[in-house]
Amino acid sequence: MIEPLWYVDVPRRQLEPVITTAFKLLGPGATRQGNHLRLCRGGLDLRLSGWGLQQSVYLKAWLWQGSPAEAQALLARLQAELEQRFPYALAPLAPLEAGANAFEALSGAYPHTVAAFRQLPQGQADLERLWWWEARWRGQAGRTAEPPAVVHKISGPMPPASSGETPWDVVVLGGALGMVQAAALAQAGQKVVVVERLEAGKMHREWNISRSELAVLVNTGLFTAAEVETLILREYRDGFHKFFDGNNPADCCAPVLHTPTVLNIAIDSQALLLACQAKLEAAGGAVIDRTDFVQAAVHDDGVVLELQGRNDGQRRQLQCKLILDAMGTASSVAWQLHGGQPFDSVCPTVGMVLEGIPPEIWDPNLGDVLFGHGDVSRQRQLIWELFPGKGDELTFYLFHYHRITEADPGSLLELYEDFFQILGEYKPIAGLSLRWKKPTFGYIPGYFHTRSGSRRVGFERILAIGDAASLQSPLIFTGFGTLVRNLPRLTTLIDQALRLEQLDGASLNQVRASQANVTVTWLFSRGMMVPPGRRIAPQAINAMLNVFFGVLATGDPAKADAFMKDRAGWLAFTSMALVAAWRTPKMLLWILDLAGPVDLARWLVSYLEFSLLSLRALLLSSWLPQLELALRPRLEARWPALALGLNALAFDITDGIGRPRWQNLAPLPKQGR
């Protein structure tokens, strides 16, 4: 018996046309009963069944009698013909003219998204912001043309400021993750201003983290334990990871993975940003919101930035010693400085905060960390997340890992259409009076770098952080968690570079949140992407995910927890990979097929470097950080470049391999609430 499974990239509502077409293509000897087909011709007895799930139609075939080779050839012709008659291509982005009503302009192309956004308190503004992000992304991603120049190098000193103000130490472009970093730098004694294109404190993402990671905000002195407790909306008691395995071979099925302390705390993101803004301003900093960055002129002694107000269109200038680019995937600075290709993969993510799901459908003390309810659909392996929030609020996310191409850079609006149509497949919400409260969306970028320093983040007087740097985990993409974990590292090194005037590109490129143990997990995210222009067995990605997560689920819970928090060391990572390969040797062939030989070779280079860096850390980490701390005052006074380099090395051999120094500090205790 053969059991080929494939899919057709049409919405499930088009199941009938697909079955009808398949019936006609089978020709003489074919019979039909509903969505089931049978072909009896010569000595061949072949059965096919079709069904719709997510936004695809799936077909599965069984050979009851006859030649397997003949059946395979017939099915290959049938599949090719169906793919030709029902092709998939990303639709052009529907236009939204300035001043037009977003609901009316976009309802034809995205009816389900518009219907849901109409129910939101600020739905039209949210929809306009969503369209802006996608238009910006599509206009940049996958393009080969040189991006517009927004950073200009000018020899000589800065001109005198027209207002007579002294330059800022740091201008942070971007007020989301950038606001947290700005507050930390301000408390370290730097004069910092944040420039944000929207209203300060407003977010289109929700943030989850663990209590042990949240302790960094207290241990670094940015917040007190009592202040942090006021930012927590919910702390759930268990989180689950499970991928669909209904079509997998028996050895590629897995139990549920429990990670009760991974992303189990929902943070009030707006309250956190406003609290950081207050601390920034109390330390002498400032926030300029509703303002666009236009361009920057880098002089020998500083940077002159040109800004434009979004409300009044007025231009203004700021002067500073250093720019922190925290503008994420929309950063025109990142696009220019990386030659138009700052990212090679992306995780389009959409979601919604909603109320109205009773606890008998979902216990608000539980979270879905990673969950898949189907196989590949429209060239994407869709994955859900669900996190409980304040009261009876639940935050739903839908995302997929995607290789960027010019023909298909990834779409938020198309993914939102899927979200609202298949949410009922994920959770039984039919008949419920749901209350949509807030959209959550964004393009979370990824970039594979074979060496810890090959991803450039520092340029002359410009440093990228957050999504603009794209150094976060390529597997779970916790941008907020990555920033918090690396907050002591970045704050210490940025403050030192400013004090010592080590603001050239080479020096700033040492100020990075890179982790060698994170680089090697890139292969897993690559294996979760459908290669561009390829058709793969729809269950292939789920089979691979279940093999690896099965190893995590049946192994030491502490190792699974560390892996999901980017803290797995060389021994833990290597042992997990070897166990997965031993249990299912064909997984290596799947990875080779999905990633390709070139990318697999690149990964082997990064794994070798991870091994060497881990060995270096084993030899140095017990004494070098303490020596660096003791020598720091003398080195800073006489050899500032060496002082910064040695400090960066001390962080590389601790934080850089998943063993941050703060890990040994006291965890954040639970407070009475």
Nearest to 632 by CA among 641, 623, 643, 617: 643
Low-confidence ranges of the chain (pLDDT < 50): 1-2, 664-668, 672-673
Q: Which overall architecture, per CATH, does domain 5-85 show?
A: 2-Layer Sandwich (3.30)
Nearest to 406 by CA among 485, 477, 344: 344
- Angle, vertex CA 106, rays to CA 103 and CA 107, nearest 5: 70
| Predicted pLDDT at 663 | 54
| Predicted pLDDT at 478 | 58
| Predicted pLDDT at 188 | 95
Q: What's the distance, Cα to Cα, between the start and end of the chain in Å? A: 60
| Predicted pLDDT at 452 | 56
Cα distance between residue 56 and residue 425, in whole Å: 13
| Predicted pLDDT at 518 | 81
- Angle, vertex CA 47, rays to CA 43 and CA 48, nearest 5: 145
Cα distance between residue 517 and residue 385, in whole Å: 24
Cα distance between residue 522 and residue 529, in whole Å: 11
| Predicted pLDDT at 268 | 93
| Predicted pLDDT at 109 | 96
3-class state of residue 72 by DSSP:
helix
DSSP string, 146-196: PPPP-EEE--SPPPPPTT-PPPEEEEEE-SSHHHHHHHHHHHTT--EEEE-
| Predicted pLDDT at 454 | 66
| Predicted pLDDT at 665 | 44
List 257's β-bridge partners, or say none. 241
| Predicted pLDDT at 666 | 43
Token pair 């992000």 is found at 133
pTM for this entry: 0.93
* Under 8 Å between Cβ of 300 and 282: no
